[in-house]
Amino acid sequence: DARVTQTPRDKVTEMGQEVTMRCQPILGHNTVFWYRQTMMQGLELLAYFRNRAPLDDSGMPKDRFSAEMPDATLATLKIQPSEPRDSAVYFCASGSTSGGSETQYFGPGTRLLVL
């Protein structure tokens, strides 16, 4: 049963520290998404990759957030420096554009608390 994996599952850090979240997409999927979920805003798209190339990161605060895909099996989301307002659950999802219909499959999320 192929699944998206995310690490760490929980992260507590202090304001100003760097946070790196990792995602392993489902093998063979060529799209990767980063979403953030808060009580106030719900689920928001932060970044989108297709074939490892970033196509949209308009949802990310550019000055502190960065997203990369070093290879097809790893996507990273980095926050530097972190702020209390970044506290949220961050979800990675992967999908495949083959077959004319794309379905996104989500990982379990990384719960981030910035103190």
Partner 1 sequence: DAKTTQPTSMDCAEGRAANLPCNHSTISGNEYVYWYRQIHSQGPQYIIHGLKNNETNEMASLIITEDRKSSTLILPHATLRDTAVYYCIVRVASGGSNYKLTFGKGTLLTVNP
Nearer to partner 1, 59 or 81 (CB): 59
Are the beta carbons of 19 and 112 closer than 8 angstroms? yes
Nearer to partner 1, 17 or 103 (CB): 103
CA distances from 97 to 31, 61, 111 (A): 7, 27, 28
Given the rule CB under 8 A, which residues bind partner 1? 4, 31, 33, 42-43, 45, 48, 50, 55-56, 91, 93, 97, 100-109
Q: Smallest gap, in angstroms, from Cβ of residue 77 to partner 1?
A: 15
Are the beta carbons of 31 and 94 closer than 8 angstroms? yes
Nearer to partner 1, 2 or 15 (CB): 2
Cα 21 versus chain centre, distance: 7
Q: Smallest gap, in angstroms, from Cβ of residue 20 to partner 1?
A: 19
Rounded Cα–Cα distance for residues 26 and 38 (Å): 25
Q: Smallest gap, in angstroms, from Cβ of residue 50 to partner 1?
A: 8
A 10 A CB-CB count for 64 gives 15
Nearer to partner 1, 45 or 81 (CB): 45
